[in-house]
Structure formats: C-alpha cells, structure tokens
Structure 1
Amino acid sequence: MPRRRHSIYESLVPILFYNLTVSYGYVYEKTSNISVSSFNQYAFESKPSRSILQCGQRCSLQNHTCNAFKFDNTDNTCTLANLLYLENPVGESVSIYFDVHQLENITMICRGAQDCCHRSYLGECGEGEGDCDDDVECAGSLVCGNNNCLKYHSAGGYWDEEDDCCEPLCSPERPCSAGEGSCSTNQDCQSSLGLVCGTANCLDRSLFPEDKYPWNTLEDFSANDNCCYRPCNVEYNVCGLYSSGCLNDEDCETGLYCKKQDTGIPYCEDLNECEYDGKYYCGRKSTCINGLGSFSCECSAGYGNFTPHEGCSDIDDCLTATCINGDCENYDGGYLCACHEGFDRGADQYSCGDTDECLTLKGQRYCGDHSECLNTAGGFDCLCVAGYGNFVRDVGCSDLDECQLFTDNCTNSQCENVAGSFQCNCDAGYKQGVNQFTCVDDDECLTSVGTDFCGGNSVCTNTVGSFYCTCVRGYELHVGNVGCSDIDECALYEDNCTNSQCENVAGSFQCNCDAGYKQGVNQYTCVDDDECLTSVGTDFCGGNSVCTNTVGSFYCTCVRGYELHVDNVGCSDIDECALYGDRDACGPDAYCENGEGSI
C-alpha cells in the first residue's frame, strides 16, 4: 500500500545527538523523543543553575531517582525528571538529556508516524503501535496489520485510516491454524478444525514436531507464547468422551467418534452401535443397549438363550414362577396366573389378590339389612350391627329389644326400645346425660322450675332428684312452703327500739328516734342528740347564755349580768342601778349608770 509521509517526523531531532559526560561516571545523551506534557508529568524539581554541566551533576546526585534533565539557557533553569518512557511525541517536543545507562531498560513508545517501528532505540512495535511496514518491525509473534490502527487509536495526530499497526497474528476475525500464534482465547483459533488456544505451548515439540512446524522456534516465539493446537490428536493424545478438540474419529477412543458442529469445537461423542450393526447382531426378542464405546443385547421378558444374529427364544416361566392363590399358565414370551375362587388376577398377570366381595352386589345382597360385610382372604362374613341380631342370609339382621333382655341399665329412668337400640326416659328431677342411656340430676334451681316455685326473697337449694326453698332474713314461708312473705318485727315485739318508735319495712324494721335523739350506727339504734352543738340549742338559748345538754334534752343559763326571760327563752340585761340604787351599787358620792351585763 502507498505510505503517507508525515512532515512532522522529518523535523524530529535524531534520538542520539551527542553525549554529555558529568562527574561520578554519569553520561547523558541529548534527545527530543519526549513531549512537553510527558516531561512535565514526571518532573520533580526546577531550580536555577549556572551551566548545563552543573544541571547534569544535580541529576546524578539524586540517588537514582533522576534519569533525565532539561536546561533552559535563556533563564539558566535546571529541571530534573524521572521518566518512565521515551516516545516519538505527538505535538510539541522538548530537548532533554537522558541517562545512557537506562536506555536499554526504558520503555520506548511509538505514537505513530511512518517508519516509527524501526527507528533507532525505539525498537520493535508492540500491539497497537505503528506505523509499521513489515512483520519484522513488530515485537514477538505480532504481525503488521493493514489499515488497522484506528482499532487501537482515535483519528487525529499521527493516526489515520491508512496507518498499519502491529497486531496479534491470531484473532476471531482471522483465526489461526495449528502451530500459529500467539492466541489469547479459543476464538482466535480455527474451531472447525478442532483447534483451541494453548498455554505457553508454542515451543512444545510434542505438539509441533520440527519437520511439520519448522517456524516454532525461539526466533519467532517466546517460551510464554500461546499457539493454536488440537488437544485430541492420534499422534500424541487420544481423547475420551465429550473431550473437545478432535478432527478425525481416530483422535477419539475406541467406540467414540469425532462429532462436528455447525459452530463450536468438534468433540468426542459415543458411537451408538444400536443404530447400525448392533440391532442386527441382537436379533429377535432382544433389545440392543448402547454403552460407552460398546453395546450389549438383553433378552425381552420371558425369553432367554441368546444367540448372535438370531436373538432369544421363549423360556417356560412356570418352572420358576410362583402363583400364590392361583395356577401358573405359560405362553410364548410370558406366563399368567389363573386365580382360585375368591381371588382376582392383578394388572401384572403374575399375582392373585383377594376379591373383596363386600364391594360387589354378591356380598351386599348376601348380608342384607342392618349388617356389615367383612371381607376375608378368599371369602367374606356378615356381622350384625349393634342393636340387631338373628342374621338370615339375603335378609339381614332384626332389631333386638334391649328392654326385655334386661340389658338396658337404665337408672332414675324408664327403658324404651327403639330400632337398633334403646333409650332411657328420665324420671322427674332428672335429665338426659351424655347420651340416651344415662340420666343425671336436674338442678331445678338453675331453671325456672325452681326459681318460679320458690318466688322472690327466697333461696332455692338443689337436692338429688328434687329441691327445696328457704326464705331470706326478714321473711317466712307461706303456708304450703310455697313463696315467702314479710315478717312484721314490730308486731312480734322483736324490735328492741329504745328512745324511738318501731316501723316495719319489707324484710326488716327500723327505729324512728324520739325528739332529742338521732339515728345511731344503724337503723335499729337511737343515741342522744346534743342540741347545743346544733342550731336547735344555740338559737333557742340566744345570746349571753350557756346551752347545757342533757339526755334527750338541754337547758339554758345566763352569763353574769343577764337573767332568763319569763319563758326561760333567751337572756336579757339586768339593770343593776335600778335594782340596787346609786348608793348601794356604786357607793356614796357616785352616780350609777347601767351597761350591757354590768354597770
């Protein structure tokens, strides 16, 4: 293909310009194979320096942490860097000095441009690097592609659609044949030929003998390169079932064949001989059974004595078969059991099971009414249900009168026969128990029978088979012990009311206290009422008086200087001046003047 020449390449400074020797045995070479941005990325110090020699000495004293420097003679600035690679730069380049002792170890990166891959010291191109002209310009087993650089790079700079970059020989788009490499996955190899990608196997002479693969040498491959190979190959490895990587049937073990697929890698599959010669070998009345790498013939049930190509013949199964409850009958290819009466042949024809006559009309009609059919081995029995007996064939069982047979055990009740059973009709005061055969005491006091009979103001007490009534306090039974009526305690002189009048009330009595008394701790007692503590006494005696309580009453006395009114109600002032005169009251030469309660 025509090669496009890039003018920028022609302006690049050659990688070796001249040597600069500084002290301590360090030698630096001038190069422009680094971009400004890449150099600045790894620069770590920038200081003034008197000369380029002093700048180089500064780098050599960094204890192996500096491998390049730049000296700007316009402002005498020295910049130190520790670069990880050299490159043919895209964009603006910078002139630097690089340690010659590290040239062999530094990574050389091709970033495009014509003939970049074989420029001095940049070395062979790696995958995705270019622009290359020939496979020899690519490292290891890589080859020079065709118009493929834009698979690895974006268009622009040095890259365009006509650039060729180094790429693996093997890829899904261009799968390799046996012995070619290097490959990364099985898709890089020709799967239709049973090839897969190996692991560090390109120099393995057991897989790639020299007479067939003369190029599989260290000259073209490294010890770690992966080459396409066929895992299943009669020359070095015969594969077993389901192993992938065969090409011919002989690559698989005996009884297997190499199965090709529309897509994917061929693999060793079992050969089903029964689809071919096996079915003819087995003959009649036999089944061909395929096995791993082989097959076998199995006689059908009831046949044996296998002969190749003829098959199997009938055997008399009755010589070994056992028919319980039946007789064995042999036929071509099998046998069956002829069952005895009362037994039926099973679905497998080889066993006789009991016939359950109770599930048929025969048993049901024979047992009749009020009976249960009980199946037995080869027959059946009829059992009368409870309450019935006297079985008659095709009729059944008749009712038993338990009351006449004295088997009722009815207590506190009367026996009544019913169909198939009996029941106990309970006596008065009893009720039905847990079933129709028991009677238990009926607690009338829990029902209206007892409560309505006893009435109000009474207590109903249950007894076995009956009940009785008692009256609450203050009441007594009516004549005939039915219901309760109030007792008049006042008429019976049972009141014990003192200082009060007796009053009968429903179920009791109360004492109404006389004047001067009040209700005590209950309705039956009266105690003295201290009128002097109430308005009764204080209002009666009035002012200037002293109220004195007595049992059932009280009286009034006047304070000094006062006297009772004529009706002993209230106190009025005594006029001592009028009573004693001036002289007696106050003495000679004094004038007596009466005051409230005094003079």
Structure 2
Amino acid sequence: DYTEDYIQTGPGQLYAHSTRLFAVDGVSVPYTWNHTITYDSTKGKMPFLVETLHASSVATEYSPLEEAVAFKIHASIAKGDRSNQCPAGFGLDATGPYCSDEDECAVRNPCSHTCHNTVGSYYCSCPKGLTISADGRTCQDIDECALGGHTCHAGQDCENVVGSYRCVVRCGNGFRRTADGFSCQDVNECQESNACHQRCFNTVGSFYCGCDPGYQLKGRKCTDVNECRQNVCRPDQLCKNTRGGYKCIDLCPSGMTKAENGTCVDIDECRDGTHQCRYNQICENAQGSYRCVCPRGYRSQGVGRPCVDIDECETRDTCQHECRNTLGSYQCTCPAGYRLTPNGKTCQ
C-alpha cells in the first residue's frame, strides 16, 4: 500500500509525488518519484488544493495464452491532511487559488555552489573534483588519492589538492620534496629535529651523533668517561674524575694532608685524637708522625705497654740522708734538727 499527494499547481495541471522505502536484499532503500499531469482546464480543478491518493489491494494476473500480465489496483482519492494549505516548496497563488512552485534557488540560495530548482524542491550540484556533502547543500573535496581515483605512476606519490590532485616525486627517508614536487632535497636533521644529545653531523639522506671530549656515545646519548679507570695519573697521584675530564692530584706523605693552597701540611695526631698512645703514655707530635713517651719519673716497658714508675731512691746520692720514692718522683727527708735546702736533696 502507498499514498501519493496531488497538488493543484495551475489550471489543468497537477503535480504528484511520493517517497517509499523498499527492501532490497534485506536493506531498506528509499525511492522517490514524481510526475506532472496536464488535462483540459475546462474540466475544472480539484475541490481542494491538496488531495491524497490511497492505493491498496494490488494484484496481478498472468494469461499464458496471451502471454500478458494484468494488474489490478484499488485506489481512492480524498482531501489531504492539509488540504487547503500549500506544502513546503510551494507558495499560494490566490488567483486560482493554486499552489505555485517556489524557486528556492532564487529566494534562499541554499547551495554552496550550483542550485537547481525543481517542482516543490531543489537540488545542489558541485564542480568537477568536488562532491555533495551529507547535508545535500555544501560541496566537499574528493580525495582522489585516498579513493584510488588517480593516475600516478610507480615512483610517484599522489598529493590531493582542493578539486583535484597532482602526481609528485616520491622521496626516500632523509629527503623532502621541493615545492614544485619534481625533485627531492636533503633534510638537515641536525637543524630541524635536534636528534642528538651533544653533537650532530648531517649527511646526505641521514645523520650521525657524536660527543664532546671526555664523553662516549651510547645510543644517541653521551655519557661521561671515567678516565681514572684507565690509570691516567702517576702512582704518586690521586685521580679525580670530573664531567668530561679528570684531575691528577699529588699525594702527600704519610702523616701529611693537602691544604687549600695545595701544599702538604703536618697532621697533628695528638690534637685530633688519631694517635695510638695508651695507658699513661703522652703523645708528642712530630713532622709527618708522632711518638708516645712516658711522663717524667716513668720509664717505658715497650710498645703497647704502660709506663712504670722509676724508683729514683735506688740511685746513689739521690738524697743526702733518707730518700722516699713516690709515683713519678721522689722525696728527700732530713733527720731531726735539720731542714731541707732549696735544692731538695741536702740538709742543713
């Protein structure tokens, strides 16, 4: 079943159109048709500006003898939904009244390029190289390169331009097409991409990376070389690695250290507590070293052993009369009626 709208467009003239969906291989496809009917204007006009034809019960009969197919259809016509209003695309002509076609191209110019008026509607078209977009009004470029509609040969690339395309030379890696598209020129990666860490050397079609002195290349990155692992300094020197280089520092003798001015100065082991003197030994600093000595009145028993008291009273003539030994010293005494002289040894 389907319907068609009939519009009175003038004396003795009707315009009919309809749109339907048909299933083709399981896919719904829209079909639109229209036609203009002319008749003897003395017959009058439709009772309404718009009437709708309803068609149903379509049947076919085939006659084998006559080799003919007969169609039967039940149809009726009545006023349309808006029987006294002109549909879209038409304007009211009060002289009839009729529904005269509206020239959308002249009134609204809805197309981006070329507009074609039709009865009750319009359609847009595009110049060569362009195609109508989904909105049916604007034109968009046809990418002949992507769609394969070009004639470029092997060794050429297709470059799309608005409304057309052009065939340009194909350039390898490290090269770029010139503006005219006919030749290739080298790309200076060192200037354009800064692909290297420190130093970049451009070559025809490529490039390679390098490093500053004291660095080595790993991939495209430069890392510091530890020259101290290569024994670059004398045995009597200390090697200190620096970024991109190294320093050889003269060593000081044992017991000496490097001053800020670079000279070797003595280390006072007695003051900084790095000496090995033990027990009741006394530390005496020396140039580049130190020594452990016993206090006065004591004598050494050897390295790592405490100092022992010296018994001065065992020595003859220590005192004139009686001698009394003390730790680290001694004391002279006198008999009754005598006193010790200032020298601490004799009596008077």
TM-score range, shorter chain: 0.3 to 0.5
TM-score, normalization: structure 2?
A: 0.42
Q: Which has the higher strand share?
A: 2
Question: Which structure has the larger Rg over C-alpha atoms?
Answer: 1
